[in-house]
């Protein structure tokens, strides 16, 4: 690999590799070849000029062809590890290929109400409750906006979501904005909390999710965001759209090549803007629409683990997807798909996983499903705990002392260590009689009860000292949206 010799991270501590190093190199080199031969379309003239000045070729039709040498140059300058902090400035997510961090998704159109079971349009109160729940769940490491609220102007809803994420948790934020202007405002709000742009760049507590139309077609908003974020030193998640058989080839390998070419565009552009700009790569893809229903399979095995292996081979932090289900309610399918996807992704070793709590192929969010995902992640993290074979753990003296006819329950050794075993919060272990007596119900029912208990116990949120500044940014965005709408109708 000429871009970077990355064998140290390739499979150092993670047991599952779906594709070999040789296959990763083939996928990467194929994507590099697509950039050189086929080229890409960039809908932002400034981005075209930046890449042209860096050595890309631009023909009369506007197609940008990026030479392999420029890709290799970008790989040499992109950081292979960086840290995302919490909102108090403490290190929270060290992205260096050793630990996986988990969080929810963003902007679901519907909420499956854990209290009533109804599928309905979400409100800002639901967004606030979702952020509070994320703050309370021990295995959820960062926050996203979860829901698209229906009771505020949808053109500026991302600013309202950002304020809730800044106000109701101190965990890191993965930010999604609808347009570049929303990205500018959200970063301004984060800078107000951090104490300025320099403070946020030094200890970034947010990363911005940047979607492009496809791997070879990059929309202006995505490119504007990438340039802005690279200039500001805010981590970028560069995520080209990919649906095998529609926006990319139908074969998983072809689809991966197609979107990985797009990932490389974002990586190159960010490094051209500012060498060392932190970028996370897309850690899923290769799956597509179910051609029987034309619904994208969030839980499909086709898109699992290949892109993670490719990111690890390339020695770049990855942002993956799991804990999501295509089920329409919190049922056996939802739990099974959450467990399967979280297990496979976790064992493949991404740095960050999102979309925990998604139902209905990303259209509906469930707080109860998020609580179940939190339980699954806790199980997986316990599985990944280093195995102890020291003298105290082997307990040979104790075995000799107790002998063939004794028991270990009352020994000091058991008192010292029994808490180290895994104890679930939601998964049922009581006897049948005890379960019946306490009316334990189903996993979905227990998850809904846990959500309600956590929300009731959540402390009242104190307004931030800079809340007036946050509200002023929102008000300015609302005024601009209103004036633009008025000008458009004139």
pLDDT for position 483: 86
Q: Locate the domains of the chain by residue range.
A: 391-420
pLDDT of amino acid 4: 46
- CA distance linking residue 2 with residue 414, whole number of Å: 53
Task: Check pLDDT > 70 for residue 11.
Answer: no
Structure tokens at 379: 């199980």
How confident is the model at residue 2, as a pLDDT?
Answer: 45
CB atoms inside a 10 Å sphere around CB 343: 16
The average pLDDT across 223-234 equals 98
Task: Report the chain's mean pLDDT, rounded to a whole number.
Answer: 93
Mean pLDDT for 202-223 is 96
pLDDT over 80 at 33, yes or no: yes
Per-residue pLDDT at 485: 79
Give 300-325 pLDDT, tens digit per residue. 998 999 999 999 999 999 999 999 99
Q: Nearest-CA neighbor of 353 among 383, 311, 386?
A: 311
Distance, in Å, from the CA atom of 309 to the CA atom of 16, rounded to the nearest integer, reads 9
Residue 391 has pLDDT above 90, yes or no: yes
pLDDT in tens, 155-184: 999 999 999 999 999 999 999 999 999 999
Please name the residues in contact with 200: beta carbons below 8 A apart, sequence gap of 6 or more.
187, 190, 191, 194, 206, 232, 233, 234
Residue 140, pLDDT > 60, answer yes
Confidence of residue 209 (pLDDT cuts 50, 70, 90): very high
């Amino acid at each position: 690999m000429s871009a970077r010799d990355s064998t140290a991270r390739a499979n150092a501590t993670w047991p599952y590799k779906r594709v070999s190093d040789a296959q990763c190199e083939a996928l990467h080199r194929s994507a590099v070849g697509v950039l050189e031969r086929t080229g890409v379309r960039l809908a932002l003239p400034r981005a075209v000029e930046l890449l042209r000045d860096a050595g890309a070729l631009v023909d009369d039709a506007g197609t940008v062809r990026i030479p392999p040498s420029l890709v290799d140059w970008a790989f040499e300058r992109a950081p292979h590890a960086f840290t995302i902090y919490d909102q108090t400035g403490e290190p929270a997510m060290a992205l260096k290929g050793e630990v996986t961090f988990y969080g929810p998704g963003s902007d679901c159109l519907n909420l499956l109400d854990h209290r009533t079971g109804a599928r309905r349009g979400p409100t800002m109160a639901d967004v606030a409750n979702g952020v509070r729940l994320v703050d309370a769940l021990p295995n959820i490491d960062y926050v996203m906006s979860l829901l698209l609220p229906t009771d505020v102007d949808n053109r500026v809803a991302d600013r309202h979501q950002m304020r809730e994420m800044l106000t109701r948790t101190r965990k890191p934020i993965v930010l999604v904005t609808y347009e570049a202007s929303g990205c500018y405002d959200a970063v301004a709000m984060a800078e107000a909390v951090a104490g300025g742009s320099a403070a946020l760049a030094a200890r970034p507590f947010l990363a911005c999710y940047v979607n492009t139309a496809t791997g070879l077609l990059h929309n202006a908003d995505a490119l504007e965001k990438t340039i802005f974020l690279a200039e500001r030193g805010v981590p970028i998640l560069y995520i080209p759209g990919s649906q095998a058989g529609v926006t990319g080839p139908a074969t998983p390998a072809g689809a991966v090549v197609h979107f990985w070419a797009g990932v490389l565009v974002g990586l190159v552009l960010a490094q051209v803007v500012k060498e060392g700009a932190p970028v996370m790569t897309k850690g899923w893809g290769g799956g597509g629409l179910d051609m029987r229903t034309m619904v994208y399979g969030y839980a499909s095995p086709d898109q699992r683990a290949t892109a993670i292996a490719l990111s690890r081979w390339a020695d770049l932090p990855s942002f993956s997807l799991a804990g999501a289900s295509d089920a329409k309610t919190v049922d056996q399918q939802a739990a099974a798909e959450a467990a399967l996807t979280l297990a496979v992704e976790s064992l493949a070793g991404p740095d960050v996983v999102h979309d925990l709590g998604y139902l209905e192929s990303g259209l509906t969010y469930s707080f109860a499903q998020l609580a179940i995902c939190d339980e699954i992640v806790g199980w997986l993290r316990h599985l990944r705990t280093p195995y102890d074979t020291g003298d105290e753990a082997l307990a040979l003296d104790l075995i000799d002392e107790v002998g063939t006819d004794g028991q270990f329950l009352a020994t000091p050794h058991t008192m010292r260590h029994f808490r180290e075993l895994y104890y679930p919060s939601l998964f049922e272990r009581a006897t049948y009689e005890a379960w019946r007596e306490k009316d334990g119900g189903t996993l979905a029912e227990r998850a809904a009860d846990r959500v309600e208990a956590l929300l009731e116990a959540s402390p009242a949120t104190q307004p931030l000292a800079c809340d007036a500044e946050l509200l002023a940014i929102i008000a300015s965005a609302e005024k601009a949206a209103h004036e633009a709408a008025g000008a458009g109708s004139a």
